[in-house]
Amino acid sequence: MGKQNLDNTIRNEYIKTIIDFFSDTMNVDALRTSASEIAIPVVDAEGTEKFVLIKVSVPRGSRDGKGGYEPYDGYQAADDYKVECADKRRNRR
């Protein structure tokens, strides 16, 4: 099985898990709107109907300049995001 098929299989398994969770546990419609997205109808504090959109992807990573990719590191991305948020908080003071 090729890399793209392996990634699609992972994505589809997680999309199914998310849909099942919202449908079965939360009793909410979870609508598959594309190969990688789920829309969930919600109502805001003023009673306006809206949607929450959940996107599921298996990222390749960043290009390495040699025709391939540096593997995506979710732990590093989370650390980078924490630093970015802390920087924004510091700059608002």
Handedness of CA 63, 67, 73, 74 (dihedral sign): positive
22 has a pLDDT exceeding 90: yes
Grouping H, G, I as helix, E, B as strand and the rest as coil, residue 63 is strand
User: What are the tens digits of pLDDT across the range 30-42?
Assistant: 999 999 999 999 9
93 has a pLDDT exceeding 80: no
User: What are the tens digits of pLDDT across the range 69-85?
Assistant: 899 999 999 999 999 99
Burial of 86 (0-12, 13-18, 19+ CB in 10 A): exposed
